[in-house]
Amino acid sequence: MNAPHPDALERPHRLDALPFDNSFARLPEAFYTRLAPWGLPEPRAVLFSDAAAALIGLHPDELASPAFVEAMAGNTPLPGGDTLAAVYSGHQFGAWAGQLGDGRAHLLGEIRTPHGPWELQLKGAGRTPYSRMGDGRAVLRSSIREFLCSEAMAALGIPTTRALSLVASDLPVPRETMETAAVVTRMAPSFVRFGSFEHWTANKRPGELQQLADYVIDRFYPAARDAANPAVAMLTEVSRRTATLMAQWQAVGFMHGVMNTDNMSILGLTLDYGPFAFMDGFDADHICNHTDRGGRYRYSAQPHIAHWNLHALGHALMPLIGDTDALEAAIDTAFVETYNREFLARLGAKLGLTDTRDGDEELIGQLYGLLHAHHTDYTLFFRALGELPAVAGTPAQDAPVRDLVADRTACDAWLAQWRARLALDARPDAERRAAMHAVNPKYVLRNWVAETAIRAAQAGDFAPLQRIHTCLQRPFDEQPENAEFAAPPPDWAQSLSVSCSS
Ligand code: AMP
Ligand code: MG
């Protein structure tokens, strides 16, 4: 969904009068369990997203109110809400995991807006019937990561669930060490996952499968309703959206870390931020989740895994599709075509090209080879490339890029090819520079930057967190006061590792 600019949105709603219209709660009760969250003792406001609040028309004054903190902690219900935890299943690390579900998420309800629906969901507000061995909690560390990254991805223009608020408490939560509890309020038009469909097929419940497909098609893929087979049409569109999302992840150097089918959004949104990372020094096979020993979810495998996950979704939809050929066309053709086109277009734009031509793929492939061989910082490289003149520069002019690549000769050779390609476009340098800076972010949520916010917050200082959040709202702008956050990992952060534990 293309969100309008936050400043253009009306914000008339008071917290106690949000226009709820809880469509998911109108599905049969097999889809969820109605329940109240446990809440959070003595919650403190840590951070909110004004941009996310604007999307639901929430009046800006409400964000600073004590009632907002209590509601976002799950301590007081919102009038008009209908709180529930949804059931789903899924494949985890390639193996069928059976029933999962919202083990620590409570859907508060769905807000109607002129730009479409937004569900509000608490993450970390207590156990549900789907918690299995989990405690229903989320720790401050992982909640900061989810909040910052959701809002950073949105600012980068990458489809994602949003984060409205982050509240924290002194409640101890045991993980590898003792940590403290927090709740992030997430927003999405829908939190339905691939695994929501797999659930009904695995349980041999074709009626519910049909109901869920109808629900998703009617609300989010209305054009599919008129197709010969609406489920095929929906799957085709989900394949396209997922392929586009993968092209965006690869282009920006984002690694999700846990691409299980229960973490795949039916709307093609980035969903469930856990051990994610942005690429620092480029390594095509980087594994950001240290529990992923086999590297199933390494950077280079993400598009392939998304495709695999679409097949799991397609298999789940088979009772509605019936025909293997239709299934393969819906997934394989749509995914591969869209991914290749979107990836080439995005990389071309990152290189400052105005269109796609024969040979661009080789130019891009050689660049990835160069970055991989020299472990060049991915974000810095593209940003610096925008500064270079189109006509062969002096070594001093080329220094911003040459200084990032250990092998200057190899770097110069690639730059010569890039310049030969730029010559075909004949675009003025200033125009190209502006276009490149508009697609090559200066600021991404590097792990060390997230860790900086986390360590300060754990010590009771939320100022760095707020500053980093503000910085990441304008990822493409030069922000001299925040230049430190554009830097590669400092020495202390070289060995940071991120696990699934959250
Ligand atoms: P994830 O890999 O974090 O997306 O989670 C996979 C499944 O485990 C989902 O069903 C989650 O709701 C559940 N889960 C993860 N952490 C917890 C927790 N601390 N308490 C309850 N359920 C959890
Ligand atoms: Mg999940």
Domain ranges of the chain: 6-191, 195-349
**3-class secondary-structure state, position 481:** helix
Protein residues near ligand 2, an ion, with CB under 5 A: 263, 272
User: Which long-range contacts link 341-349 to residues 24+ away (Cβ below 8 Å)?
Assistant: 342/243, 342/244, 342/247, 342/248, 343/246, 343/247, 343/250, 343/251, 343/303, 345/247, 346/247, 346/248, 346/251, 346/439, 347/251, 349/435, 349/436, 349/439
DSSP calls for 372-414? HHHT-BHHHHHHHHTTS-SS---HHHHHHHHTT-S-HHHHHHH
Dihedral (CA of 112, 115, 117, 122) sign: negative
pLDDT at 3 over 80: no
Q: What is the DSSP letter of 462?
A: -
Please give the average per-residue pLDDT across 63-86, as a whole number: 98
| Averaged pLDDT score across all residues of the chain | 97
Q: pLDDT of 94-141, one tens digit each? A: 999 999 999 999 999 999 999 999 999 999 999 999 999 999 999 999
- The pLDDT of residue 296 is 98
139/124 Cα distance (integer angstroms): 8
Strand 254-255 vs strand 178-188: parallel, antiparallel, or unpaired?
A: unpaired
Q: What is the DSSP letter of 488?
A: P
DSSP H or E stretch at residue 195: helix 194-202
The reply to whether 101 sits in an annotated binding site is yes
Above pLDDT 70, what percent of the chain? 99
Q: What is the DSSP letter of 498?
A: B
- The pLDDT of residue 284 is 98
Q: Which amino acid is at 171?
A: L
Whether this prediction's pTM lies above 0.85 is answered by yes
358/372 Cα distance (integer angstroms): 23
Q: How confident is the model at residue 2 (pLDDT cuts 50, 70, 90)?
A: low
182/44 Cα distance (integer angstroms): 9
Q: Considering only CA atoms, which of 482, 414, 501, 416 is closest in space to residue 443?
A: 482
215/500 Cα distance (integer angstroms): 31
262 among known catalytic residues: yes
**Nearest ligand by distance to the CA of 500:** 1
Ligand 1 site, residue 263, Cβ cutoff 6 A: yes
Q: What is the best residue among 130, 140, 194 to mutate for testing ligand 1's pocket, by most ligand atoms within 8 Å of CB? A: 130
Q: Which residue has a Cα nearest atom 11 of ligand 1?
A: 103
Q: What is the DSSP letter of 160?
A: B
Ligand 1 site, residue 101, Cβ cutoff 6 A: yes
**160 CA distance to ligand 1 middle (Å):** 19
pLDDT at 497 over 90: no
Q: pLDDT of 228-286, one tens digit each? A: 999 999 999 999 999 999 999 999 999 999 999 999 999 999 999 999 999 999 999 99
DSSP H or E stretch at residue 47: strand 44-48
Q: pLDDT of 23-55, one tens digit each? A: 999 999 999 999 999 999 999 999 999 999 999
CA distances from 406 to 82, 282, 370, 376, 409 (A): 58, 13, 10, 8, 9
Ligand 1 site, residue 136, Cβ cutoff 6 A: yes
Ligand 1 site, residue 237, Cβ cutoff 6 A: no
